[in-house]
Amino acid sequence: MTDTAPTLILTGGQVLTVDRDFTVAQGVAVRGRDIVAVGTDAEMRALAGPATRVVELGGRTVLPGINDSHLHGAAYGMTKPPFALDVGHPAVGSIAGIAATVAAAVRAAPPGEWIVGLGWDPGYVAECLADQQQFPHRRDLDAVAPDNPVCLTDFSSHMVWANTAALRTCGIDRDTAAPPGGVIDLDPDGEPTGILREAAQRLVQTALPSPTTAQRRQAIQGVIRELHSRGITSYTEPGLGPGGAGTLFGGLSTENWTAYAELAAEGLLDARVSVLLLPAPMGGSADDVRKGLAELRRPTSADPRLLNAIGVKIFADGVPPNRTAWMNEPYPDGGHGALCVHGESPALQVEELREMIRLAHEAGFQLGVHVTGDRAIDTVVDAFIAADEAAPRPDARHYVIHGDFIGPDSLAALAASGYGVNMNPGIKWTVADLMDEVVGPARSAYQWPVRSAMEVGVTVCSSSDAPITEPDWRQGVASMMLRESKASGRQSGPDQCVPLADALRAYTANPAWQDFADDWKGTIEPGKAADLCVLDRPLLGLDPHDLTRVEVDLTVFDGRVVHER
């Protein structure tokens, strides 16, 4: 084979390049780690040498490798057996079923050993659906786990359900004060129910046994194998650092980061992982951010194209299903939610959040801020702009994480500043019907206004937020095109639907921009990294309802075939 002949050619299909013009080609040629040519079937076949592997597409689709731009990889791995119980829908559908799952784990565990699980969702729990006054309680777990502390994190990872043994182990009783930005649910008689929300989760999570680096490596590698089977070659790991210590999504920078860095150095990290560092916990302060940034000192990796710490994550408020998103208008059942940062009053919290954002901006980091309520989002976007005016940076690429109820003014401000938003169509699909009750039908329909954001020029990325939802970009694309709910199939905000090309950009080219990598990945063009995803059928013209039935036949990462169905 000549030195210039491709090592791999995919041809005779529908190559969606997702370039600026959304060009459709018939084939793509790869040499080593790079794409070297894109064009017609005849052009690609003419390049083949005697040792070139030629994959006959037979009309199938080729996409750029999918980039899930907000996926807690290490945590997602730790939510799977053997590390944690699956207590989510559809594995279990009732409090009784969750208790039975815990009971089986207790039978296999010595007394005193923690039982950890993830995924329960009151929107899919039979007892809660039958009686809206009923909610999971520590007593439900006490019956099957009297001597083993139990910590079950909900699907959103903003709420923990603990049993009495766990509360006792952690010293939580009727006199325990919730930390700033947290809530401890109490019975009518003033005793804790076992439900801890937002920052209060840490009261239990800090007591959980910390996985070893070897376990973290095992979990990460298991996740990457799964991602390859889904055509995913890049993801953003949003929240490694001291602020995540003791939380489900955390792990000290010397633990999860070390696991990733070791894999990269040993040539065993078969994905491109961008990392947001977490300098302060939920409910933290500007002093926490200042201390955390000093401690982080932006770690480096053996290959920045594989592992790159590019930004900092800060929590601004909670999540709408828990009524902890900070909203302009009250929830139908009362309250506005709140910021989850340090401060004795809303005004002081706003100032604290602005200072947290200023510190990270001036330290030179990209900022991704978890924020969901419209009032909180306006506060964050104003803080982005104020920080940049005080210390201008040419290309910060800050972005709003989730941005559920982002309003027109904040969208316009993000577009004008060259900032982005990272949205979650899979969560929209999951919670659409529930949100009608939480915020009312009009606000529920508007939640995640993808089309409005794109129309004003905001760079929109879409992501799974796994383990909150499965890392299934096909469902995400379908949700962006259809806005239909999982539970009923009803449309929620059809005016926010977008076409296939825009939905695919949100999982490929746009996340490459978020990663500061749009000059070398995210589209199928000569000179770009050879990260590719082959689907089992043509995608153009496909009914969006059939998208979730599409199979990934082949995944190419860095020029190598890493998955073949």
pLDDT for 413-426, tens place per residue?
999 999 999 999 99
Q: How large is the average pLDDT for residues 450-456? A: 98
Residue 37 in this model has a pLDDT that exceeds 60: yes
Determine if the peptide bond prior to 320 is cis (ω within 30°).
no
Please state, as a whole number, how many other Cβ atoms lie within 10 Å of the Cβ of residue 408: 11
pLDDT recorded at residue 250:
43
Token pair in block for residue 358: 């200023």
pLDDT the model gives residue 441: 97
- The residue ranking higher by pLDDT, 284 or 246, is 284
Average of per-residue pLDDT across 219-224: 96
Q: Is the pLDDT of residue 199 over 60?
A: yes
Of 43-57, 251-265, 289-303, 485-499, the poorest mean pLDDT is in 251-265
Element (H, E) at 221: helix 213-229
Kindly list the distances between the CA atom of residue 327 and the CA atoms of 16, 84, 319, 405, 438, in Å, as whole numbers in the listed order: 40, 34, 11, 9, 12
Q: Out of 239-253, 458-472, 528-542, pick the least confident.
A: 239-253
Give 519's pLDDT tier (boundaries 50, 70, 90): very high
Angle at which helix 213-229 crosses helix 258-265, to 10 degrees, equals 70
For residue range 391-438, list pLDDT tens digits in order: 999 999 999 999 999 999 999 999 999 999 999 999 999 999 999 999
What's the pLDDT at 256? 85
243-276 per-position pLDDT tens digit: 655 444 444 346 788 899 999 999 999 999 999 9
Query: DSSP readout, 398-456?
Result: -EEEE-TT--HHHHHHHHHHT-EEEE-HHHHHHHHHHHHHHH-HHHHHHSS-HHHHHHT
* Residue that wins the pLDDT comparison between 181 and 307: 307
Per-residue pLDDT at 244:
57
Residue 204 predicted with pLDDT over 90 = yes
pLDDT band with cut points at 50, 70 and 90 for residue 287? very high
Average pLDDT over every residue of 73-80: 88
Helix, strand, or coil (residue 48): coil
Q: How many CB atoms lie within 10 A of CB 326?
A: 25
pLDDT band, very low/low/confident/very high, at 337 (cuts 50, 70, 90): very high
Q: How many Cβ atoms are within 10 Å of 225's Cβ, its own excluded?
A: 13
> What pLDDT is recorded for position 533?
98
Q: Does residue 439 have a pLDDT over 70? A: yes
pLDDT band for 300, please (50, 70, 90 cuts).
Answer: confident
Q: Is the pLDDT of residue 2 over 60?
A: no
Average pLDDT of the chain to the nearest whole number: 94
Residue 145 main-chain phi, psi, to 5 deg: -135, 70
Percent of the chain with pLDDT over 90: 85
**Looking at residue 283, what is its pLDDT?**
87
Check pLDDT > 90 for residue 124.
no
Tell me, what amino acid is at 524? I
What is the 3 state secondary structure string of 140-206? HHHCCCCCCCEEEEECCCCEEEECHHHHHHCCCCCCCCCCCCEEEEECCCCCEEEEEEEHHHHHHHC
CB-based contact 556:545 (threshold 8 Å)? no
Q: 323: pLDDT confidence band, cut at 50, 70 and 90?
A: very high
Phi, psi of 200 (to 5 degrees): -65, -20
Alpha-carbon distance of 526 to 76, in angstroms, equals 34
Give the model's pLDDT for residue 246.
Answer: 46
Cβ–Cβ < 8 Å for 315, 307: no
Average pLDDT of the residues in 10-23: 98
Tell me what pLDDT residue 251 has.
Answer: 43
CA distances from 500 to 225, 230, 399, 441, 474 (A): 27, 18, 23, 26, 11
Of 66, 222, 60, nearest in space to 553 by CA: 60
Query: What pLDDT does residue 83 have?
Result: 85
Residue range 132-187, pLDDT digits in tens: 889 999 999 999 999 999 999 998 888 999 999 999 999 999 999 999 889 999 99
